[in-house]
Amino acid sequence: MEKSIRKGSIYGFLISLALGILLVDYKITTGFNGGYTTEYVPVFEYIMSILRYSVLGALAGMVAGWGVFIKKKKVNEQNT
């Protein structure tokens, strides 16, 4: 049981980390008087927002790993 939950959490963390790097905005563009200005998010805030999504992905991976374990357990009980 521990192995499937651990693997699910690690895979969930890594996948959501990669998606967070790709999808989290690192700059804010605002328009005014027909022009645009760009402000960059501080590095600390950017890293914390990526880690927040990664931790949520790890929790989702743990739940998925637990579900896989329960499903395998039911199949093994039916076969024996």
Per-residue model confidence as pLDDT tens digits over 37-67: 999 999 999 999 999 999 999 999 999 888 8
Q: Which of 15, 28, 1, 21 is nearest to 59 (CA)?
A: 15
CA angle 9, 41, 43 (to 5 degrees): 60
Q: What is the mean pLDDT of the chain?
A: 89
Q: How many domains does the chain have?
A: 1
Residue 44's domain spans which residues?
2-79
